[in-house]
Structure 1
Amino acid sequence: MSGWARALSLAAVLVVMACLVPAATASLHAEETLASQFAEFKQKHGRVYGSAAEEAFRLSVFRANLFLARLHAAANPHATFGVTPFSDLTREGAQPPWSACRPSWASISGIPWNGRARGGAPRGGKPAPTTNGTDSARRVGN
């Protein structure tokens, strides 16, 4: 390899390394910021995790939820998105307790939890009155 080729390849390596150092520094800074945000979140909302593994899992969920909040904030600048008391919960864990409270008798009786019989007719089997100008609203009682 000639002297010029060696110097050129050394210059190329230095340019690549010069580009990678700021990226690595930014990544390290982002991790430090994330860690401080997570520590502040835990302190503010009184979170204490049972093990280091659970804390690591909750940190990864927190990171993903923060990323989603930033995506939503970029898509809708008029709304505010960020850290909430639910930021360490998965989608399944953030469901309100009453969301799973569907009547267990619904599948037996044929009436789903929203009060409509199968097929969309309200209880009683008669169609709902319409207001679109037809006479079906007058025939409901027949």
Structure 2
Amino acid sequence: MAYSKVLLATIVVIAFLGIASAVNNPVTVDISVTVPFVTQKKSDIVVRGLISCIRDNDKSKWIPLEGATAKLYCPLFQTKSTFADKNGFFLVKLPSDRFSNDCRVYLDSPGPDANDCIVPSDENHGIFGDPITPTKEHPELYQVGPFFYTNPQL
């Protein structure tokens, strides 16, 4: 019994010394919360262009090629454009993390309604690839072309 009284007295003294030491040397507790780093997904880059037909030597007469397509090639990415609309305009989406200054757009297909306008022209680098250039309107909008197909007689 005497042994347990000595043990109890020792515990009380140690607890008292701990409280007294905390008063003289305050303990700081870090209650900050670590927030995981979350990156915001950058939006896609959009490339716009125009595909038309030139049927004779008059290059001022452009006939839009509805349904025509282009291809975008980057070192780490390649994709096909949307089908050109009735005005000949097409779009290509490029994930922003795949963007490179080496990205180029090429003519792909004149579309189903091209009739005799099936020969690709390298005007504006339609065959060998036109580098995409930024527009002034929006930082994630780029442009190429315009691209042309001609008929075999030209």
Whether the TM-score (by the shorter chain) exceeds 0.5 is no
Specify the TM-score bucket, using the shorter chain as the normaliser.
under 0.3
TM, length-normalised to structure 1? 0.24
Q: Pick 1 or 2: higher relative contact order, CA cutoff 8 A, min separation 6.
A: 2
Bigger CA radius of gyration: 2
Bigger share in helix: 1
